[in-house]
Amino acid sequence: MKNLFDVYPVYDIVPVKGEYAKIWDDKGNEYLDFYGGHGVISIGHAHPNYVKAVQNQVAKLGFYSNSIVNPIQEALAEKLAQASGYSEYNLFLCNSGAEANENALKLASFHNKKKKVIAFHKSFHGRTSAAVAATDGPSLVAPLNANHEVVFLALNDAVALEQELAKGDVCCVIIEGIQGVGGLDQGTTEFFQQLRTLTKQYDAVLILDEIQSGYGRSGKFFAHQYHNIEADIISMAKGMGNGFPIGGILIAPTFKASHGLLGTTFGGNHLACAAALSVLETIEAENLMQNVNEMNAYFTEKTKEFSEITAIKGRGLMLGIAFDFDIAALRKKLILEQNIFTGSASQKNLLRILPPLGITKTDIDFFFNGLKKALANLNN
């Protein structure tokens, strides 16, 4: 690794093969993947539908730019509009979650000619310029990024929200359907509905960041749909391509498009669209959102067997298991001794769970058996 820029702390594991919720390393060891590489693996590692779609497309045409007609883009946009319940919204495609939020913020500013952004404490929206400025992580923000005008508010504080919006200079409010890195916190239904009302009242664009919480992970297509609101712009990535780099924003019909307003070289290429289309088709064909809700109920019930667990946060299969201690050592024991991948959060007592949407009760049983052993051996 001597020529790699060393910015990632890594476990000494080399995955070489995956199948649904399982991973094998270069030594032949099998692992249960309950993290999905930050919630990216939606329909499962090496899902046959996904593999077939990518193989068939790359054998024909992997890439061309957005200067020609791409029927797979059009099919994806139509399928996504139908699956998400946003049938009148338009799709702009890019390559990642950060790009999706960057374009969402830029489009909002083009739309109402304002520049101040409201974001929330513990938020994470990406690492590009405006997206990282709207992220509540000072160590991630370089001086170059700090020039953006961003105000951070407490989640669920509608009074502070209206006070800021009433100044009349707010371009947009960006909020995660469920916070990811920040620790699985989420707005209440009352707050989300107030947020929608207030942004309309004060001519501010409402951006829903569904990059991690979208694509069925919460048990609905988008997590904000639990609150019976519609956003102006919705950003997506992660589970959208099941590992293939793709992102996008769904845009309300009130936004006027013009040539050159947004753009990308690689975004929406043939191969990415084929991968993303196979994900939507599989979510529908295998009733994966129904499975998410069923597995959530089973998972939640199993947690009751553990006195060490103090809370369960999140929805669907975007979950956080809270303990009354720092989980770093527990997470290490899970992966190195019990062969189970999990995630961490900025809240050091939270174990993050982001498995593929098609997991089974057998997978959950394996996880909790491993958790029981890891807890028992925590001080050894």
Residue 334 has what pLDDT? 97
For 160, residues 6+ apart whose C-beta sits below 8 A from its C-beta are 153, 154
Q: Identify the architecture of domain 48-285 in CATH.
A: 3-Layer(aba) Sandwich (3.40)
Looking at per-residue confidence, does 1 or 370 come out higher?
A: 370
Residue 378 has what pLDDT? 86
Domain spans, the chain: 15-46+288-376, 48-285
Stretch 199-216: mean pLDDT, rounded? 98
Q: How confident is the model at residue 312 (pLDDT cuts 50, 70, 90)?
A: very high
75 CB neighbour count, 10 Å cutoff: 15
DSSP 8-state symbol, 182: T
Percent of the chain with pLDDT over 90: 97
Stretch 350-379: mean pLDDT, rounded? 96
Please report the beta strands in 148-258, taking only residues with DSSP state E, as ranges in sequence order: 150-153, 170-176, 205-209, 233-236, 247-251
Tens digits of residue pLDDT in 23-67: 999 999 999 999 999 999 999 999 999 999 999 999 999 999 999
Residue 28 has what pLDDT? 97
Residue 2 has what pLDDT? 84
Distance CA 146, CA 152 (A): 13
State the pTM of this model. 0.96
- Give which of 363, 236, 125 is closest to 353, Cα–Cα: 363
Tens digits of residue pLDDT in 84-129: 999 999 999 999 999 999 999 999 999 999 999 999 999 999 999 9
Distance CA 212, CA 225 (A): 14
Distance CA 142, CA 112 (A): 27
pLDDT averaged over the chain?
96
Stretch 152-171: mean pLDDT, rounded? 98
Taking 80 as the threshold, does the pLDDT of residue 379 lie above it?
no
Identify the bridge partners of residue 208 per DSSP, sorted by sequence position: 175, 234
Separation in Å, CA 218 to CA 92, 153, 289, 356? 23, 24, 8, 12
Q: How confident is the model at residue 182 (pLDDT cuts 50, 70, 90)?
A: very high
Q: Identify the architecture of domain 15-46+288-376 in CATH.
A: Alpha-Beta Complex (3.90)
Q: Is 239 exposed, middle or buried (0-12, 13-18, 19+ CB in 10 A)?
A: buried
Residue 246 has what pLDDT? 98
- Give which of 88, 113, 112, 92 is closest to 102, Cα–Cα: 92
Distance CA 62, CA 270 (A): 6
